[in-house]
A and B are shown apart, each in its own frame.
Chain A
Amino acid sequence: DAGVTQSPTHLIKTRGQQVTLRCSPKSGHDTVSWYQQALGQGPQFIFQYYEEEERQRGNFPDRFSGHQFPNYSSELNVNALLLGDSALYLCASSFGGGAGDEQFFGPGTRLTVL
C-alpha cells in the first residue's frame, strides 16, 4: 500500500515564475492538506481540500491556490514566486480531515526560488 506521494522531489524556479506541485494521497484517504515548511521552522498550514473544494485556508496570499481531483489527488499552484517562497512543501492526507485525525505526510517537494 503506497503512502502519500509527491512530485517533483526538488524544483528550482526564478522569481516571478509559476509552479505546480502534485500530491497523491494514501489509499482510502479523501482529504488533502498542504503545508509550507521553511528552513528551521515547523510546517505552516496553507489549505485543505475535501470533496474537490477548499475547506479551510491558512494565512497565505491568493498567489497560493490548489485543486483536488475526483481521484482525491491534489495540486498546489504558486504564482508570481518570491524568494521567500523557498521551502519544503508538504502534503498530508487523511480520512475526513479533522484536526484530531491522523494525517500521513508525504516526503515533500523542496522548492528553491532564485
Chain B
Amino acid sequence: TQLLEQSPQFLSIQEGENLTVYCNSSSVFSSLQWYRQEPGEGPVLLVTVVTGGEVKKLKRLTFQFGDARKDSSLHITAAQPGDTGLYLCAGGGSNYKLTFGKGTLLTVNP
C-alpha cells in the first residue's frame, strides 16, 4: 500500500513569513501533485511534478520533487492570508488512482 505522509499537520504563521511543508513516502510515484482545498470546496490543483529533482515555481510558491521521486516539498514565500487552506499532496502511480496525504492545514494571520 502506498502512503504519503505530510508534515506538519497544522501550521499557523503571520503574514509575510516563509514556510515549507513536506510530503514523504517510502514508495516511488510517477507523478506528484499539490492541491489546495478551502472549506466547503473541492481540492484545486496547483502543480504536477513528474521528473525526479524537478523544481517548479508558481509566483510565491516553489514545488520540488525529490530525486528518488518519493518525496516533495512546497515552499511559500511571504505568505498572505489568501494562502490559508488545506494543502494536499497526491501521488500517481502506474494505475489510475491518486493517493493523497492527510494534508497540512495552513493559517496565515494578518
Contacts and interface: CB of A to CB of B under 8 A. Distances in A.
A90 B50 contact: no
Interface string B54-95: 000000000000000000000000000000000010111111
Nearest to B50: A100
Contacts of B98: 33, 43, 45, 99, 103
A92 B96 contact: no
Contacts of A55: 96
Given A100-B48, A107-B41, A108-B42, A48 B97 contact: yes
DSSP class of A's interface residues: helix, strand, loop or mixed?
A: loop
Given A43-B88, A99-B30, A100-B31, A48 B96 contact: yes
A29 B45 CA distance: 16
A56 B100 contact: no
A28 interface: no
Count class of interface residues, chain B: 20 to 34
Contact of B100 (A44, A97, A98): A44
Interface string A46-78: 001010000110100000000000000000000
Given A48-B96, A99-B95, A99-B98, A107 B50 contact: no
Interface of B: 4, 6, 30-31, 35, 40-45, 48, 50, 88, 90-103
7 contacts: A42-B101, A43-B90, A45-B99, A99-B31, A99-B96, A100-B50, A102-B48
